[in-house]
Copies of this chain bind each other. A is one copy, B any other.
């Protein structure tokens, strides 16, 4: 993996990540393909809206269909038929949020599958091995994602454990090599809850280990927005300038713009896809809940400035009808649009950074998008 910084505007950065599968212009939003598919959208439709990298969840794919099968098919790209980049997480987040039971020790984490209760044990070493089988372009270390709120003592111990695991992950990464014809990169994950000194300590220790990039984890877990923005800034200030930074699980369009302003390069979130399936659309003029009866006769498109299939072809009235009668097509059209919007957002942010007017652009855009559309044709 290569990362080239093209331009900076204060702390905001425009760059390119090159993997063996794609050139990814940053800042970038990565659609979430939890189980080897982004929900309700076809691969060719992702290509059409310019998706260059998707995320896969190691926890889910490990459980179903299992890594042996993926290996037999020559890796996750081949198994799912996706020829652009894939980033996989380490499974840690899902173990702590989804698994029926989990028990953490210095060595690793026991958990029971949320599907069938089967028992599993992940160590820093096994999650690297698993991601070698998956063959993701970018893999992540095993970490403990600390819930919010957490005591300083707990957060501190957890941060130490995460550093310890990061070292072991990196060692296992060095001891092993790719199983396929393409290379893999590895990112560390900064933890430390909402404690500035723990965050700084985490960053320093991870830099010591030396990763290809750095994820900022443990945010967007219920803490106030201000704290999230503050912690992000604290991390990016210390993280190596020449390596990509990835803010995990974030977020709203505003969160993403704040992250970019603080120097983050990569984002992922289920928000555009999940909210879309719940009839909520993101637009250049604000959010729009299409079930609102105000849109019943609205002949205009969801977002008149959007170039996606949904906006080029269908009215709000028709899309509202599809949601009201529970047609699957509603989910498809919403997913296409919301992901296209998120990609547009980071693409425009990049342009603004290249033009050195990011802050001005951001301020004026936020004035537009931080509203709710409640009128027909608006």
A residues with a Cβ closer than 8 A to B are: 35-44, 60, 64-65, 69, 72-73, 79-81, 296-297, 299, 309, 313-315, 317-318, 321-322, 324-325, 327-329, 331-333
Partner of A39, one of B44, B65, B321, B329: B329
Nearest CB of chain B from residue A79's CB, rounded to whole Å: 6
Task: State whether B318 touches A79 (Cβ < 8 A).
Answer: yes
Nearest CB of chain B from residue A315's CB, rounded to whole Å: 7
Q: How many copies does the complex hold?
A: 2
Given contacts A313-B43, A315-B73, contact A65 B324 (CB under 8 A): yes
Known: A39-B328, A40-B332, A64-B321. 11 other contacts (CB 8 A): A35-B322, A35-B325, A37-B329, A39-B329, A40-B329, A41-B329, A44-B309, A60-B325, A64-B324, A73-B315, A79-B317
Closest to A330 in B: B37
Partner of A69, one of B80, B296, B309, B325: B296
Partner of A73, one of B36, B40, B299, B328: B299
Nearest CB of chain B from residue A160's CB, rounded to whole Å: 36
Measured in the bound complex, the distance between the Cα atoms of B64 and A331 in whole Å is 18
Nearest CB of chain B from residue A170's CB, rounded to whole Å: 31
**Across-interface contacts of A331 in B (CB, < 8 A):** 328
Task: State whether B332 touches A69 (Cβ < 8 A).
Answer: no
Task: State whether A313 touches B65 (Cβ < 8 A).
Answer: no
Task: State whether A42 touches B328 (Cβ < 8 A).
Answer: no
What are 5 A-B residue pairs whose CB atoms fall within 8 Å in the complex?
A: A42-B329, A43-B313, A44-B313, A65-B296, A73-B299
**Across-interface contacts of A44 in B (CB, < 8 A):** 309, 313
**Across-interface contacts of A73 in B (CB, < 8 A):** 299, 315, 317
The 7 closest A-B pairs by CB, nearest first: A40-B328, A37-B329, A65-B321, A35-B325, A37-B327, A81-B313, A81-B314
Closest to A322 in B: B37
Measured in the bound complex, the distance between the Cα atoms of B81 and A315 in whole Å is 8
**Across-interface contacts of A318 in B (CB, < 8 A):** 36, 79-81
Closest to A72 in B: B297
Measured in the bound complex, the distance between the Cα atoms of B321 and A373 in whole Å is 39
Measured in the bound complex, the distance between the Cα atoms of B292 and A280 in whole Å is 37
